[in-house]
Amino acid sequence: MIYLDYQATTPVAPEVAEAMRPWAEDHFSNPHSPSRWGREAAAAIEVARDQVEAAIGLSGGSVAFTGSATEAINWALKGTAERTPERNRIVTLATEHAAVLDSCEWLEARGSEVVRLPIGPDGLLEPGALEAVLDERVALVAAMLVNNEIGVIHPIGDIAETAHGVGALMLCDAVQGLGRVKIPEGPDLVAVSAHKVHGPKAIGALWMRQGAEPAPFVHGGGQERGLRSGTLSPAMCAGFGAAAKLAAGRSRQDREHVDQLWKAAIAALGEGWIVNGSVDHRYPGNLNIRRDGLDAARLISDLRDIAFSLGSACASGSGRPSHVLRALGLSDAQARSSIRLGFGRYTSQDELVDAATRIDAAARAQQDVAA
Ligand code: PLP
């Protein structure tokens, strides 16, 4: 199989599996117990915390581990709304991940006012759009660094500064950006996920600027400074730490590789493909493209040994056209003619060129049959 679905998840790095092994196999102690074994496990978690914080690279805050980035985002939105009832409005972008949009919908059903900003045909905010809806009623502005479906990079530093201008906090979903695109200074809350950076699934983290911690969301034993209860898994934390350290240490090397892969894929695909979203403000490991008349779902089932998708894994599963592509102004038909190729550290140029050549040939064959 040629794996081109890096935005859905990434292969576990060998260094990550190695870091997890002792904690998964022998060292089973509860990291919150006072025994020597417990303290060893707790120390391993603190090493991992430092590694994740270093990869995020922001000053003045710290992370709490969560069960996923989805949990971190739910916590950030719902916990901030709870903490600041005097500010009843949340502002976000139409192209955010379901974790943000569905949390906002949940809050809306309970009385919050949610503003979903439209984006331009390039996938970016129109100038002045954010300023126009900001005032002292806004508790939080939520925007992602790198879009998971189309790869466009939002100016998070500017968005945070604008939000701060009216006293609002800023939540950055940096799940697709960690280790790939530098997280600018500015956000008060940052959500990340291990499995998008060659770490294990089902562990995420919320970075919180000191003083901006949301109200607790998961209650219980008071772990994570009383902010997020639940016994932590030393194995998962160690895996996330190792993945974050690698991502930060290899950031430039990974980026050069991905730049090469992007060029090779574009050359192999040939004429007739249109890139969805900005090419200039984009992480190049995301190639979301469309072709007039293409039946993308059929293309995926025709090429079963190549793993790629229609957009987000959620959009692919539901059969609904992607809300991100629709927000770009694409018609349902154009959205259904779009595919997303995601590649990265462990993708070889040869396999990517092979896959792109076969995708192009299969797309042309569809057109020949239709003609
Ligand atoms: N945000 C973005 C941009 C994502 O791509 C994802 C993963 O699909 C998430 C949030 C949710 O991450 P997790 O799988 O850790 O819940």
pLDDT score of 139 more than 90: yes
pLDDT tens-digit readout, 164-174 = 999 999 999 99
Contact, 192 vs 204, CB < 8 A? yes
- Which pLDDT score is estimated for 368? 82
Nearest CA to ligand 1 atom 8: 8
Atom number in ligand 1 closest to CA 144: 3
What pairs with residue 130 in β-bridges? none
Give dist(CA 152, CA 134) in Å, integer: 23
* 312 Cα nearest atom in ligand 1: 8
56 has pLDDT over 80 = yes
Flag the least confident range among 77-86, 221-230, 271-280, 320-329: 320-329
Q: How far is the CA of 360 from the centre of ligand 1 (A)?
A: 29
By alpha-carbon position, which residue is closest to atom 6 of ligand 1?
Answer: 175
CA of 222 to the centre of ligand 1 (A): 25
CA distance linking residue 152 with residue 7, whole number of Å? 13
Mean local confidence (pLDDT), 273-285: 98
**Alpha-carbon gap, residue 347 to 175, rounded angstroms:** 20
Residue listed under structure tokens 């192209």: 95
Ligand 1 centroid, distance to 233 Cα (angstroms): 20
Residues near ligand 1 (Cβ within 6 A): 68-70, 97, 99, 144, 148, 173, 175-176, 193, 204
Q: Which atom, in ligand 1's list, is nearest to the CA of 314?
A: 8
- From 95, 148, 316, the mutation candidate for ligand 1 (largest count of ligand atoms within 8 A of CB) is 148
Q: Which residues are within 8 A (CB) of 301 and not within 5 positions of it... i.e. 6 or more apart? A: none
> pLDDT per residue over 248-266, tens digit each?
999 999 999 999 999 999 9
Compute CA distances 182 → 168, 185, 248, 310, 327, whole Å.
23, 9, 10, 27, 26
Distance CA 16, CA 39 (A): 22
pLDDT of residue 141: 98
pLDDT single digits (tens) 185-230: 999 999 999 999 999 999 999 999 999 999 999 999 999 999 999 9
Q: What's the 70 CA to ligand 1 centre distance in angstroms?
A: 6
Q: Is the pTM of this model over 0.85?
A: yes
For the chain, the average pLDDT equals 96
The answer to whether residue 314 is catalytic is yes
